[in-house]
Amino acid sequence: MSERTLYLSIGSNIQPEHNVKRCLASLRALSGATLTAVSNLYRTRPWGGATQAEFINLAVALRTSLPARTLLAQMQAIEQALGRERLQKNGARTIDIDLLLLGDEVHQDAALCVPHPGLLERDFMLLPLLEIAPEACHPVTGEPLMALSQGVRYRQIIERLPALD
C-alpha cells in the first residue's frame, strides 16, 4: 500500500494537557507512521449535551502506508493504554482519537467510517484540521474542506490555545 496522510482528531477532558501529551508521545512512537503536523489546542464545550468538564481538542497528521484497520486498532490501543473507558456515550474521557481522513480513502461500515461522519458538522474537528491541512479535500465530493467550513452545524470551540511543546 502506498504512503498517504492520515488526519486524526484528539480530545480529552480528564487531565487534558497531560493526556494529550501522552497521546502525542504514543503517536510519535508508532511503528509504520510518522507524525508530521500538530495543530494548536482548542478549548471546547462538551459534545452531546453531557454535563462535564471542557475539552481540549486538536488535530494531527501522520504519514503512513499501514492499512486502515491496522490504524484503527493502533488508535484504540493508544486510547486503552491511556485509560479510556467507554462507560457513557459522549462521557468524560482521558483520550478520544477519531480518524478524520485517510488519504482519499472511504470506509463505511460498523467499525470504521472515514471520512468521519462528524467532520463537516463539528468545528472542533474541522477547524484544527484546516489549520494543519488548509488544502484538504473531502474524499467523497472532492470539494475543498475550507469551502465547506461555513456549513459547520455545531460550534463547540471556546478559544484557540497555543500548541503543546
| Active site residues per annotation | 84, 93, 96, 98
Q: Say if strands 113-114 and 96-102 run parallel, antiparallel, or are unpaired.
A: unpaired
No. of helices (H) and no. of strands (E), the chain: 4, 8
21 contacts: CB under 8 Å, gap ≥ 6: 164
φ, ψ dihedrals at 29, nearest 5° = -90, -5
Element (H, E) at 7: strand 4-12
